[in-house]
């Protein structure tokens, strides 16, 4: 076991997989010689060569399109899209091609691509370096959509993603690359050193895709969340003193419905929290499932806490970000309903 | 708004319905006039290949010049057979669509030499990423007519299990990728496949096809950029058949420079070839394949041809171009030209040709008879609709199993919405 932040654990996952499987290749903007703008691939080109850690032209559609072709020829490509906000030029290749190759060829062809991409705000990135577009991808059948919330899960989920024969879009919440973030930008940044999920095995292990985790047990209210907001939720629960259960869904799609509904059936109250915009956000899908499967156990309406339905404004990111205050207010509101 | 003072140029074809066809815009070279360079030439030294027109068959049906691949008559007869088969098959499938027995079809009339010539110049281990008018590539590389018909019928033997529009075949065994309805998406796949081949140290190459219209797509530009940057062993083909449904090739940007020149700025050699000349197609493709195999990187080939028929069964070309335009196309009919060449060599005759057409027509009729036994759109056996939940992921996830159960048990096997 080692202490790792999320950058180190992601790099460790890539290192483990490149060492274990010679068909694993990476391609992306600035990922080779430079090691990536967030350093996730630092040192890997030196170790595995420039034919396996490939610096790419600035053309996300080309990176994803070429990665699909590599995957069709027996490689296991792990392209990086430098920011999730840049993924849209490759959207057609993901939606119309990557997601459907297995389906349209009845399994004769498939391309096991894992697209890594940093997402989320809170780093003063403005509207083109802060987005959380996971719901757009979760809406596409054939894609596995993942967002880890800590170094241990990030490594184990990334290894599962690379080993999976399904295409995966792997979102990395960049605000928590270096430490858990409770939503208060005024407080000094915490490192992963003190967090139990900052303890990461150096070798190969997996965290299963499609499995949520109950990160805090409780009886009175369930918070369903993922990514950065797992830590904000923990801080909010502490402040309210409410006996909350927190479910980190980890894989957005396919969704682990059983863990969610078991928790809400137990607590009877539910708050769903994500950083992405609310309208048509993934929280709506979760709410619909809960409504269907937990209706007779619900004691209060389901509440969504999310980013406002605006672009992510540079100067007002903390007013945009669904932080501790909004979560605390949401939890208290829902608990007050009799 | 539309006034004479506008400096905006809106491309217009030289002829619309009722006008006399006018192909004066096409730059032609006489057969044999374009030099054949060595495969290790630098792109800058062979730019002439992208502006000239490589032709082997002359107006007297003789093979002339440096690009003559010197194929024996047996091989030429084989080529003719595949081209005629393509035409006969298309004709029958078109009728079948008109009778309402399949929902859609696309014919390759006038473009048969592209798939057959290029198919014969590639090796079986090379990977093809075709467009929707490359049916002869599937045929040449081993897909049976019955399998192709069953795909078009979405019947119980359909390789796509009813998931794809007719003509969107695939075959892993034949190294033929699946056709997409979104144009040009296959181009970067071919480049990535070729990059992987080079990374693995194999000598297989990739080839892909798209039309003049689809060169406007971003994927075309992504593909040529990546191919050039990494010198991927790939042949990128632009089948310039002059028409993208109703818009002529000028709307895709073909008015000032040939499509073959699209890669020059990136250092990719371009070859503009007579797309109705089997011999020129075969020779240029072999040149590009040898170059790619020896580490010389990509080649962009523009095949100048003419779409003899409609874009698909869904459009009527008499609404947007002169009815008899094809007859005036200066590069003629590829089948007729190869046939006349063989006749001039003394290795073919009108009688043999008629016999071949009759044989192949019979073969197609027999295949259609067999294909229908696996089901038609109206008569069983039918595919099991519950298979629509398979192959979305490597393993069927819980929510799809549950939707499958709901569709089959609650909504009935004919399907319906699901919220389970």
Q: Are residues B144 and B283 in the same domain?
A: yes
Q: How many domains does chain B have?
A: 2
Round to whole Å and give the CA distance between A184 and A186: 5
Alpha helices in A120-256 (DSSP H): 134-138, 151-163, 229-240
Chain A contact set for B171 (CB, 8 A): 108
Q: Are residues B413 and B354 in the same domain?
A: no
pLDDT of A71 reads: 98
The share of chain A scoring above pLDDT 90, in percent, equals 98
Total H helices, total E strands in chain A = 12, 14
Q: Is A309 on the interface with B (CB under 8 A)?
A: no
pLDDT of A227 reads: 98
- The one catalytic residue in A129, A195, A231, A274 is A129
**What residue numbers bound the domain in which B390 lies?**
385-419
- CB contact (8 A) between residue A106 and residue B194: no
Round to whole Å and give the CA distance between A106 and A169: 22
Residue B402 φ/ψ, nearest 5 degrees: -70, -35
Q: Is B211 among the domain residues?
A: yes
Left (φ > 0), alpha (ψ -120 to 50) or beta: where does A170 sit? beta
- CB contact (8 A) between residue A104 and residue B192: no
pLDDT of B418 reads: 43
Let me know: does B303 contact B114? Beta carbons within 8 Å.
yes
Tell me the CA distances in angstroms from B345 to A263, B76, B80, B275, one per residue in order: 82, 11, 14, 21
Round to whole Å and give the CA distance between A318 and A25: 38
Please enumerate in sequence order all residues whose Cβ is within 8 A of that of A325, keeping only pairs 6 or more positions apart, or say none.
none
- CB contact (8 A) between residue B170 and residue A108: yes
Q: Are residues B390 and B360 in the same domain?
A: no
Q: Is B13 among the domain residues?
A: no
Query: Looking at the partner chain, which of B226, B391, B419 has a beta carbon nearest the beta carbon of A103?
Result: B391
Q: Is B278 among the domain residues?
A: yes
β-strands A76-77, A24-28 pairing:
parallel
Q: Are residues B366 and B394 in the same domain?
A: no
Q: Are residues B304 and B393 in the same domain?
A: no
Round to whole Å and give the CA distance between A32 and A29: 8
Q: Is B366 among the domain residues?
A: yes
Sheet holding A251-253, edge to edge: A114-119, A168-173, A144-146, A251-253
CB pairs under 8 A between A and B: 151
Closest CA to A206 of A163, A257, A249, A259: A163
Q: Are residues B255 and B391 in the same domain?
A: no
For residue A171, list its beta bridge partners. A117
List the end-to-end C-alpha distance of chain A, in Å, as a whole number. 47
Query: The domain that contains B56 carries what CATH number?
Result: 3.40.50.970
Q: Are residues B411 and B367 in the same domain?
A: no
Let me know: does B37 contact B45? Beta carbons within 8 Å.
yes
Please enumerate in sequence order all residues whose Cβ is within 8 A of that of A127, keeping only pairs 6 or more positions apart, or say none.
A85, A311, A312, A313, A314
The overall longest dimension of chain A from CA atoms, in Å, is: 63
- CB contact (8 A) between residue A92 and residue B185: yes
Round to whole Å and give the CA distance between B103 and A119: 43
Query: Looking at the partner chain, which of A59, A77, A105 has a beta carbon nearest the beta carbon of B222?
Result: A59
CA B29 to chain centroid, in Å, comes to: 24
- The 10s digit of each residue's pLDDT in A7-43 is 999 999 999 999 999 999 999 999 999 999 999 999 9
Chain A contact set for B180 (CB, 8 A): 96-97
Q: Are residues B341 and B391 in the same domain?
A: no
Whole-number mean pLDDT of chain A? Answer: 97
Q: How many C-beta atoms lie closer than 10 Å to residue A99's C-beta?
A: 22
Q: Which residues of chain B, if any, have pLDDT below 50?
A: 415-420
Task: Give the mutation candidate from A27, A52, A63, A66 for the B interface (greatest B CB count, under 10 A).
Answer: A66
B249 Cα to chain A: minimum distance (Å): 24
Q: Is B53 among the domain residues?
A: yes
Q: Are residues B251 and B345 in the same domain?
A: yes
Chain B contact set for A72 (CB, 8 A): 127, 177, 189, 192-193, 196
Would you call the peptide bond into A254 cis, given omega within 30 degrees of 0 as the criterion? Answer: yes
- CB contact (8 A) between residue A73 and residue B218: no
Query: pTM for this one?
Result: 0.97
Q: How many C-beta atoms lie closer than 10 Å to residue A58's C-beta?
A: 12
- CB contact (8 A) between residue A254 and residue B399: yes
Q: Is B1 among the domain residues?
A: no
Active site residue A129: yes
Round to whole Å and give the CA distance between B227 and B394: 30
- CB contact (8 A) between residue B225 and residue A57: yes
pLDDT of A338 reads: 84
pLDDT of B417 reads: 43
Q: Residues of B210-243 as b/e, b for ≥16 C-beta within 10 angstroms?
A: bbbbbbebbbbbbbbbbbbbbbbbbbbbbbbbbb
Q: Is B11 among the domain residues?
A: no
Q: Is B26 among the domain residues?
A: no
- CB contact (8 A) between residue B392 and residue A25: no
Query: Looking at the partner chain, which of A64, A69, A71 has a beta carbon nearest the beta carbon of B190?
Result: A69
Q: Are residues B362 and B279 in the same domain?
A: yes
Closest CA to A40 of A4, A66, A68: A4
pLDDT of B5 reads: 81
Q: How many C-beta atoms lie closer than 10 Å to residue B108's C-beta?
A: 28
- CB contact (8 A) between residue B191 and residue A65: yes
Chain A contact set for B172 (CB, 8 A): 105, 108-109
- CB contact (8 A) between residue A166 and residue B159: no
Q: What is the block-wise mean pLDDT of chain A (338 residues), using blocks of 10 residues? A: 97 98 98 98 98 98 98 98 98 98 98 98 94 98 98 98 98 98 92 96 98 98 98 98 98 98 98 98 98 98 98 96 97 95
Query: Looking at the partner chain, which of B206, B222, B229 has a beta carbon nearest the beta carbon of A61?
Result: B222
User: ipTM score of the complex?
Assistant: 0.97
Query: Looking at the partner chain, which of B178, B191, B392 has a beta carbon nearest the beta carbon of A66?
Result: B191
Q: Are residues B259 and B397 in the same domain?
A: no
Chain B contact set for A92 (CB, 8 A): 182, 185, 219
Q: Are residues B412 and B342 in the same domain?
A: no
Query: Looking at the partner chain, which of B171, B397, B419 has a beta carbon nearest the beta carbon of A292?
Result: B419
A239 Cα to chain B: minimum distance (Å): 36
pLDDT of B410 reads: 76
């Amino acid at each position: 076991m080692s202490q790792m932040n999320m950058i180190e654990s992601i790099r460790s996952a890539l290192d483990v997989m490149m060492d274990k499987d010679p068909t694993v290749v990476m391609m992306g903007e600035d990922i080779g010689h430079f090691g990536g703008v967030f350093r996730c691939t630092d040192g890997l080109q030196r170790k595995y060569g420039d034919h396996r850690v490939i610096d790419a032209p600035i053309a996300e559609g080309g990176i994803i399109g070429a990665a699909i072709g590599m995957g069709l020829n027996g490689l296991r490509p792990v392209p990086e899209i430098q920011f999730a906000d840049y993924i849209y030029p490759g959207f057609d290749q993901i939606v119309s091609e990557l997601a459907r190759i297995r389906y349209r060829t009845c399994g004769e062809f498939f391309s096991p691509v894992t697209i890594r991409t940093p997402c989320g705000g809170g780093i003063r990135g403005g509207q083109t370096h802060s987005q959380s577009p996971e719901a757009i991808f979760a809406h596409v059948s054939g894609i596995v959509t993942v967002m880890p919330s800590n170094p241990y899960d990030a490594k184990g989920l990334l290894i599962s993603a690379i080993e999976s024969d399904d295409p995966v879009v792997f979102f990395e919440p960049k605000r928590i690359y270096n430490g858990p973030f409770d939503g208060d930008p005024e407080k000094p940044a915490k490192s992963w050193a003190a967090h139990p999920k900052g303890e990461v095995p150096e070798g190969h292990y997996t965290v299963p895709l499609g499995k949520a985790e109950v990160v805090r047990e409780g009886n009175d209210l369930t918070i369903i969340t993922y990514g950065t907001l797992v830590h904000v939720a923990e801080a909010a629960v502490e402040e309210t003193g409410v006996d909350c259960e927190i479910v980190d869904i980890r894989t957005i799609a396919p969704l682990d419905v059983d863990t969610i509904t078991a928790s809400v059936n137990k607590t009877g109250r539910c708050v769903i929290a994500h950083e992405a915009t609310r309208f048509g956000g993934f929280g709506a899908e979760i709410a619909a499932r809960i409504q269907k499967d937990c209706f007779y156990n619900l004691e209060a309406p389901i509440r969504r806490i999310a980013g406002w339905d605006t672009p992510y404004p540079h100067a007002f990111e903390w007013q945009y970000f669904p932080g501790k205050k909004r979560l605390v207010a949401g939890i208290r509101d829902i608990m007050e309903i009799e | 708004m539309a006034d004479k003072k506008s400096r905006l140029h809106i491309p217009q074809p030289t002829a619309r319905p009722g006008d006399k066809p006018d192909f004066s815009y096409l730059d032609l070279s006489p057969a044999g006039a374009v030099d054949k360079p060595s495969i290790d030439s630098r792109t800058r030294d062979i730019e002439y290949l992208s502006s000239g027109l490589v032709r082997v068959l002359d107006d007297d049906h003789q093979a002339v010049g440096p690009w003559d691949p010197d194929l024996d008559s047996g091989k030429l007869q084989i080529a003719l057979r595949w081209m005629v088969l393509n035409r006969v098959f298309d004709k029958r499938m078109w009728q079948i669509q008109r009778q309402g027995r399949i929902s859609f079809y696309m014919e390759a009339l006038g473009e048969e030499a592209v798939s057959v010539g290029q198919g014969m110049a590639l090796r079986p281990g090379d990977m093809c990423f075709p467009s929707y008018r490359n049916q002869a590539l599937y045929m040449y590389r081993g897909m049976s007519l019955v399998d192709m018909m069953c795909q078009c019928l979405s019947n119980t033997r359909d390789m796509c299990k009813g998931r794809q529009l007719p003509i969107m075949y695939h075959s892993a065994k034949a190294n033929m990728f699946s056709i997409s309805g979104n144009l040009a998406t296959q181009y970067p796949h071919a480049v990535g496949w070729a990059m992987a081949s080079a990374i693995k140290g194999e000598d297989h190459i990739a080839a892909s096809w798209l039309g003049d219209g689809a060169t406007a797509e971003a994927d075309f530009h992504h593909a040529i950029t990546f191919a050039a940057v990494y010198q991927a062993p790939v042949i990128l083909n632009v089948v310039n058949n002059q028409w993208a449904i109703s818009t002529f090739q000028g709307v895709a940007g073909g008015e000032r420079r040939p499509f073959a020149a699209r890669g020059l700025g990136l250092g990719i050699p371009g070859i503009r070839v007579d797309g109705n000349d089997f011999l020129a197609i075969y020779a240029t493709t072999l040149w590009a394949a040898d170059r790619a195999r020896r580490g010389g990187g990509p080649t962009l080939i523009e095949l100048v041809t003419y779409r003899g028929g409609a874009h698909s069964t869904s459009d009527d070309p008499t609404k947007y171009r002169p009815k008899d335009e094809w007859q005036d196309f200066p590069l003629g009919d590829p089948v007729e030209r190869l046939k006349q060449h063989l006749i001039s060599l003394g290795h073919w005759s009108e009688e043999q040709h008629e016999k071949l057409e009759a044989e192949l027509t019979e073969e197609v009729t027999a295949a259609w008879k067999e294909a229908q036994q696996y089901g038609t759109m109206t008569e069983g056996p039918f595919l099991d609709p519950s298979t629509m939940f398979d192959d979305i992921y490597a393993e069927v996830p819980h929510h799809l199993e549950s939707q499958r159960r709901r569709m089959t048990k609650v909504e009935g096997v004919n399907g319906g919405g699901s919220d389970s």
